[in-house]
Amino acid sequence: MKYEPLDSRVDGVTLFEDRAEVRRLSAVTLPAGVHGLQIGGLSLSTDDGSLLIAATPEPPGLPDPGGIRVLSAAIRRQRHTEGADAAAREAALQRVEAARAALVACCDRRARLQDQLQRQEALCQGWIGGFAATPAAADQPGWEAGWKALQSALEPLTCAVRDAAIAIDDATREADLAERRYAAACVVRQRFAAAAEIQLQLDAPATLRLELRYLTPCALWRPAHEARLLSAPGAPDRPTVAWQGMAVAWNATGEAWEGVALTFSTARPGRAADPPLLQEDRLSLRPKTEEERRTVRVEAREVDIRQAGEEGRRDVGSLPASRTAASP
């Protein structure tokens, strides 16, 4: 059966000392028949056996038309492979090769310009040596014209070598960027997701409100307290103590709980419990004897309370009463 994906939101979370109960809501309009629905966003660590599904008419308050049955509900975990396709990797490789070729061309051009610049500088040095060895009566205007010609050819070569060095820096950055993009295109990532797959049967078309409840570990809460010493106005020698109680919550489930109402509960669903002993207690009334009046008798009954969990597990003490707050 093909499952239709639905959007959902977390409507409330009840935090215990070792787990959390999540309440997730979704709405859908369906015709009559059998339908497969998929609600994603669940934690990978969700307890499969704790999943509960309720389908009611939407909006709330409408009479139940009947004929709404949940046939099955299960949590399916899937692995998704994310990465660029072969065409994208080939295009990225071509950009790398083009960037490398452009860098090689820039390096060759700078090498040629540097050779020309060295020859021109050698000519200038030769001119200086020849001018120093020439007698003073020699043709000074001719030497000056030759020097101006050498200088006019030297300056453009110097600027060209400098521009070639800048071009090499730009081409190097482009080649590095292309190589990083190619490396990123070759990375294959594994993504894991969990979703609730539900099969519903409707005898008539209806708009439904789906409510999911499930337990998940990796989320809990602990009480925290803060005491402050305050100076009383007008009586600095008689300070007062301000005591504040808080709740600290942890969420490592992978689910987003922004703006969700949190309920901090002292219940312990992870502990096994036995029902109380059912026995008849018969009461009778009679006068006390003299001995009974002088003696106080105390009776106690021992009851074995079993707890879930392995031996050696640290026992958590009693917690304060539950309270409700909004998550940050």
The residue type of 4 is E
The count of residues in the chain is: 328
Contact 320, 248 (CB under 8 A): no
**Distance (Å, whole) CA 148 – CA 275:** 111
Question: Beta partners for 199?
Answer: 36, 72
Question: What is the tens place of the pLDDT at every residue in 5-20?
Answer: 899 999 999 999 889 9
pLDDT class of 53 with cuts at 50, 70, 90:
very high
pLDDT given at position 197: 93
Which DSSP string do the residues of 199-253 spell out, in sequence order?
Answer: EEEESS-EEEEEEEEEEESSEEEEEEEEEEEEEETTEEEEEEEEEEEEEEEEE-S
What mean pLDDT is reported for the chain?
A: 81
> Among all chains, which residue has been given the structure tokens 């060295």?
118
Question: What is the tens place of the pLDDT at every residue in 260-316?
Answer: 999 999 888 766 666 667 778 788 888 888 888 888 777 776 756 555 444 444 444
To the nearest whole percent, how much of the chain has pLDDT over 90? 34
pLDDT class of 169 with cuts at 50, 70, 90:
very high
The residue type of 252 is A
pLDDT class of 23 with cuts at 50, 70, 90:
very high
- E strand or H helix at 134: none
Query: Can you say how many angstroms the Cα of residue 106 is from the centroid of all Cα atoms in its chain?
Result: 44
Contact 228, 89 (CB under 8 A): no
pTM: 0.56
Specify the range with the lowest mean pLDDT, choosing from 35-39, 79-83, 98-102, 323-327: 323-327
To the nearest whole percent, how much of the chain has pLDDT over 70? 82
Quickly count: other Cβ atoms within 10 Å of residue 286's Cβ. Answer: 6
Q: CA geometry: angle at 75 spanning 72 and 79, to 5°?
A: 140
Question: Beta partners for 224?
Answer: 246
